[in-house]
Structure 1
């Protein structure tokens, strides 16, 4: 078997550019970017998916891999993969944000544990919501749908120098605001109820100053917070599902699917 230098570089280019897009997705996407998932596993998955998608790739631009335009194409592939994972990462960030608001409202802000998603300390209430959301994400085959979208994107958004336009970039930036809006929407029923309870205890402490409001208010707030979490859990998970569908719709819009 004899290969010329141009043929060999074409084969390497057809492997490296899709690998960069898929690998960037695994770096930023939920579940795949967990600290418990070894980097070797992510690399093996990226290589396997790249080998699967290589035979069906559209014609690549006649650009050398290590040229200026080749590096620009590689940067675009990194941005596409990271942006796709970032959109879904904001959905789970909204869950963490809402859970933190609930935990601080019911007095459990001090009870925290390490979040395996980002390796940071988060309240246990937020971690409970993250676990439930992750189970729903897996039950809906969200990880498989994400892989399907990134593989289909090579046909709808081929490898080129100008793959994304400014409108797509602004859509991704605007999506970051959903972290706060979605988290507040998820936690608003519990936070509003706990606020009314705290106002009631404030009125009681003014009416009866001899009442030890701290020894009475904390157990009541804690038990009421746990009850409200149980009552509002179906609606919270339903809102998470809607937020997840919006994220997939935005991903499909950016990837032209």
Structure 2
């Protein structure tokens, strides 16, 4: 009981709290506006309270370097959550590719989770991806990631930013994210390219036909059919995307820990 009310342990608890709170600021699903702010604060507090008794804080020294430890914890939480959000944004990037070919690029919608404009198809894919994440308990894996982050990044160590492997790792993560976005979009974009080729041939052979009037509804119809046909392939790609997200977050933790 004395340990619970020991005021000397508050600086260590504050280090844990700022990492968890910063993690939830940028983490996919937990950072959305539709989740109430009191829930985020309360969940961060109680999760940090549980994690506080599972870490070794004997090496923490409260001196002039303590403020830098707080900044380090904030950066770790923000960057790990941000790299996960960047990876999952491949779904919306793929939707942007598809909408541009469908003719829907001019009709963006406001994403209620982030408050930013999002392509129609990308938002549709994104909702399916989030439902898939919840159905496989991916949100529990995300929470497990911040809990296990102290195995890779102890609370009393600093990030080795002079390590060039961190920048190389982030660049590789970006390239993999765009690759998956291209894989998600290429079936529909490829079908629409064939439609454009067919319309071009028709425009040359039948000049009386207004392909601009026929082309837009035809491309929309072909896009919907292609999305319905390739939806099972999309689920496989989303599974690979989430696997990449968890691997990227784990790899970034290892680099931050100096591994």
Common fold by TM > 0.5: yes
Give ranges in structure 2 of 5+ residues lacking alignment.
none
Counterpart contact for 1:194–1:221, Cα < 8 Å? yes
| Aligned counterparts of 2:56 and 2:21: Cα–Cα separation in 1 | 19
- The count of residues paired between Structure 1 and Structure 2 equals 251
Structure-1 residue corresponding to 2:109: 113
What secondary structure, in the 3-state scheme, does the structure 2 residue paired with 1:33 have? Answer: coil
Distance 1:60 1:20 in 2: 19
Larger deviation, residues 132-141 vs 169-178: 169-178
| Deviation at residue 203 of structure 1 after TM alignment | 1.6
The Cα offsets for residues 52-101 of structure 1, whole Å up to 9 and x where unpaired, read as 01111112434326x2x212212221122112212221232100000111
Deviation at 1:2, TM superposition (A): 10
Q: Specify the alignment match of 2:94 in structure 1.
A: 98
Deviation at 1:173, TM superposition (A): 4.3
Residue of structure 2 equivalent to 1:25? 23
- 1:136 lines up with 2:144 in the alignment: no
Distance 1:143 1:127 in 2: 19
How far apart, in 2, do the equivalents of 1:227 and 1:187 lie?
14
Q: 1:63 aligns with which of 49, 61, 65?
A: 61
Task: Name the CA distance, whole Å, in 1 between partners of 2:126 and 2:223.
Answer: 17
- Work out whether residues 60 and 156 of structure 2, in 8 Å CA contact, stay in contact via their aligned partners in 1: no
**Contact 1:97 1:179 (C-alpha < 8 Å) held by counterparts:** no
Does residue 73 of structure 1 match 2:73? no
Q: Which runs of 5+ in 1 are unaligned?
A: none
TM-superposed CA distance for 1:118, in Å, is 2.1
CA drift at 1:34: 0.6
Partner of 2:78: 82
Matched with 2:188 is 190
Provide TM-score, normalisation by structure 2. 0.89
Q: Is the 8 A contact 1:34 1:118 kept in 2?
A: yes
Q: What is the distance in 1 between the residues matched to 2:88 and 2:251?
A: 20
Q: Kindly provide the CA deviation profile for residues 149-207 of structure 1, in whole angstroms up to 9, marking residues without a partner as x.
A: 21122233211242455224542343233332221121011101101111110121122
Where has structure 1 moved over 3 Å in runs of 4 or more? none
Seen in structure 2, the aligned counterparts of structure 1 residues 164 and 42 have a Cα distance that, compared at 3 Å, is farther
Which deviates more from structure 2 when the two are superposed, residues 22-31 or residues 152-161?
152-161
**Residues of 1 paired with 2:102 and 2:252: CA distance?**
39
Q: How does 1:229-244 map to 2 (within 5 A)?
A: 229-244=227-242
CA-to-partner distance for each residue in 1:108-146, whole Å, 9 max, x for gaps? 223322113321121221111000000011111111111
Deviation track 1:184-232 (CA, whole Å, cap 9, x = no partner) reads 1210111011011111101211222221111211111110000001111
Q: Structure 2: how far apart are the matches of 1:2 and 1:40?
A: 29
Aligned residue for 1:126? 122
CA contact (8 A) 1:60 1:159 kept: no
What is the rounded CA distance, in whole Å, between the counterparts of 1:215 and 1:50 in structure 2?
A: 59
Aligned counterparts of 2:67 and 2:183: Cα–Cα separation in 1: 42
